[in-house]
Amino acid sequence: MTTQRIIFETGDKTLAEHFAVVPLKKEVPPWYKDLDMHIGPGGLSLDAMIRAGTYNGNKTIKYCVPVLDYLTSGYLIKAAMHLKIKNVGGKDGVESGLQYVTTHSERVEHHSNAQCPVHIEGRQHVYAKLDNPWKIITPKGYSCLFYQPFYADLNVKFRLFPAIVDTDTYPVSVNFPGFALGDDEVEILPGTPLMVVFPFKRDAWKMELVVRDKPEADKGLMNYLLHRAYKTFFHQPKSFK
């Protein structure tokens, strides 16, 4: 496996010391770490079922290797500012206002709904773009996918837009537009996980649709995969350091 280099560059020593970008595998959610691979009726753990001399449990999400790959692939950018955001008005599809208070107000931009005219949860939103103090540099031919962490126990009342940026040619930092859901004030504290950065190589693709005559074979394979075979025979290791 070839090791590529991704650079996160900043001129802020305090930021690098207290809110450094880290491999995502260092921020695996506590609930996932503490979860058993098997769980029985009433939330019984595998050890409890073994002690009771019975096992009639189900596999948990921790048994799923693709989810583990998702949780440990890429790099995590954390908030470096204290931010409060609140929607005002805007019910019944009318464009909402947005108020924010931050210790670094110069690092938040405002964008109208007309710049991204989508309806989300039955209403229009205006947007706050959070400044990202990290410039990201990847090797030639590599871009980065940016997305908000999904499995983390975060305040889901604030959404950030996913995007792909050609970080091998883009010369400045990538900022993060988002919006508040509902009417309650949303608070983002320093250190809050904001965005996952997933580097990937740009390749040209051409899709093909295939209709198979033997779907039963696929059912047999899926049953096989659910019993740990994916990890044993098909999984390829990923490395993000």
Q: Which helix (H) or strand (E) holds 66?
A: helix 65-72
Global pTM?
Answer: 0.79
d(CA 56, CA 42): 11
Q: Of the segments 53-62, 137-146, 175-184, 230-239, which one has the largest average pLDDT value? A: 137-146
String of DSSP letters for 149-216: -SSS---TTEEE--EEE-TTT--SPPPEEEEE-SSS-EEE-TT-EEEEEEEEE-----------S-HH
Model confidence at 143, pLDDT cuts 50, 70, 90, reads: very high
pLDDT range class, residue 135, cuts 50, 70, 90: very high
* Number of continuous H segments (helices) and E segments (strands) in the chain: 5, 18
Q: Can you tell me the mean pLDDT for 198-203? A: 96
Residue 93: predicted pLDDT? 41
For residues 73-79, give the mean pLDDT: 95
Position 110 scores a pLDDT of 74
- Asked if pLDDT for residue 212 goes beyond 70, the answer is yes
SS3 144: strand
Burial of 29 (0-12, 13-18, 19+ CB in 10 A): middle
* Residue 154 contacts residue 178 (beta carbons within 8 Å): no
Which CATH architecture does the domain made up of 75-201 adopt?
Answer: Distorted Sandwich (2.70)
Give mean pLDDT, residues 87-92: 53
Instruction: Please answer whether residues 79 and 187 qualify as being in contact, where contact means their C-beta atoms are separated by less than 8 angstroms.
Output: no
Q: By percentage, how much of the chain surpasses pLDDT 70?
A: 73
Who wins on pLDDT, 42 or 32? Answer: 32
- The domain segmentation of the chain, as residue ranges, is 20-74+206-234, 75-201
Q: What is the DSSP letter of 103?
A: T
Please give the average per-residue pLDDT across 196-209, as a whole number: 95
Residue found under tokens 């989508």: 118
